[in-house]
């Protein structure tokens, strides 16, 4: 929510930005370093107290902290350029790295579809240039390119990001849990009406159309203030969580 507010902050009035922050930040219970004042800020906005005059300054400082973190972790990420472009070079309008960056920005902004992401980029073209997105990317292009991209190479980008955070000492244990701990759990990510890839497990219920499950093992660091997602491994179609683990 903070990332999305940072993107739109310079494009809307301070009043509208405060209203957006009040709706989206106060109920979310954000627990991030240097952002403990978010609830107090949103509460002051809600009450209309004398502190409201200083809220824009305080929120701007918080967003600058978010901006610095995003600048290090998203804007200046050359890792996407190492991912192989699956398309033919003829007729390419958007670079492969810009499409992956757009998908990444859409995830951070909590957009639930590529159609919403296309509209988001169209409305905020100037803000998207900082991520290497110079023009609107259609939802069909986004779907096709991301689906064809090698997931193993994308997984390596995730691993490199985790290693960078580890070197920054951003994954250190807290005083409440002074040991290192990683949680691994199996999840069913999608229920499909066709076999999208080799990992989809087929199910044929009686008197009902068949369906396929796309499952995977997720790993997250749980000993820090933020529960950082560090890896994902698809579960083979002929196996289960226990066998994959």
User: Are 45 and 237 contacting, i.e. CB atoms less than 8 angstroms apart?
Assistant: no
Q: How many helices (H) and strands (E) does the chain have?
A: 10, 4
Is residue 81 within 8 Å of residue 132, measured between CB atoms?
no
pLDDT in tens, 94-104: 888 888 888 88
DSSP symbol at 97? H
Q: CB–CB of 127/121 below 8 Å?
A: no
> Residue 237 has what pLDDT?
92
Helix (H, G, I), strand (E, B) or coil at 229: strand
Positive or negative: CA dihedral 235, 74, 220, 160 = positive
DSSP structural state of residue 231: E
- pLDDT of amino acid 33: 35
Q: Write down the pLDDT at residue 39.
A: 45
Contact by Cβ (8 Å): 135, 170:
no
- What angle (nearest 5°) sits at the alpha carbon of residue 96, between those of residues 193 and 237? 30
**Over the stretch 111-156, which tens digit does the pLDDT of each residue have?**
888 898 898 888 877 777 777 788 888 988 888 898 888 888 888 8
Angle CA 195–107–197, to nearest 5 = 15
pLDDT in tens, the chain (245 residues): 566 665 655 555 555 655 656 565 554 444 333 344 444 544 444 444 444 455 556 666 666 666 666 666 665 455 788 888 888 888 788 888 888 888 888 887 778 888 988 988 888 777 777 777 888 889 888 888 988 888 888 888 888 888 888 888 888 887 677 788 899 999 898 899 988 888 999 999 998 999 999 999 999 988 877 778 889 899 999 998 888 88
What pLDDT is stored for residue 60 in this prediction? Answer: 64
Q: Is 110 exposed, middle or buried (0-12, 13-18, 19+ CB in 10 A)?
A: exposed
Q: Are 149 and 158 in contact (CB under 8 A)?
A: no
């Amino acid at each position: 929510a903070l990332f999305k507010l940072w993107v739109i902050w310079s494009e809307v009035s301070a009043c509208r930005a405060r209203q957006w922050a009040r709706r989206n930040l106060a109920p979310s219970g954000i627990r991030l370093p240097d952002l403990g004042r978010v609830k107090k800020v949103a509460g002051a906005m809600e009450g209309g107290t004398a502190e409201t005059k200083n809220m824009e300054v305080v929120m701007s400082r918080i967003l600058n902290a978010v901006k610095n973190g995003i600048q290090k972790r998203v804007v200046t990420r050359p890792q996407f350029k190492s991912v192989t472009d699956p398309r033919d070079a003829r007729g390419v309008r958007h670079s492969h790295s810009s499409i992956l960056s757009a998908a990444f920005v859409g995830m951070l902004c909590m957009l639930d579809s590529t159609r919403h992401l296309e509209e988001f980029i169209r409305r905020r073209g100037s803000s998207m240039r900082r991520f290497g997105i110079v023009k609107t990317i259609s939802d069909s292009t986004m779907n096709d390119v991301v689906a064809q991209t090698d997931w193993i190479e994308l997984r390596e980008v995730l691993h490199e990001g985790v290693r960078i955070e580890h070197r920054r000492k951003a994954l250190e244990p807290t005083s409440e849990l002074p040991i290192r701990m990683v949680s691994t759990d199996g999840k069913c990510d999608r229920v499909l009406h066709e076999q999208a890839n080799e990992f989809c497990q087929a199910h044929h219920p009686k008197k009902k159309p068949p369906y396929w499950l796309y499952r995977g093992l997720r790993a997250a660091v749980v000993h820090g203030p933020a529960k950082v997602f560090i890896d994902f491994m698809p579960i083979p179609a002929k196996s289960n969580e226990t066998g994959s683990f």
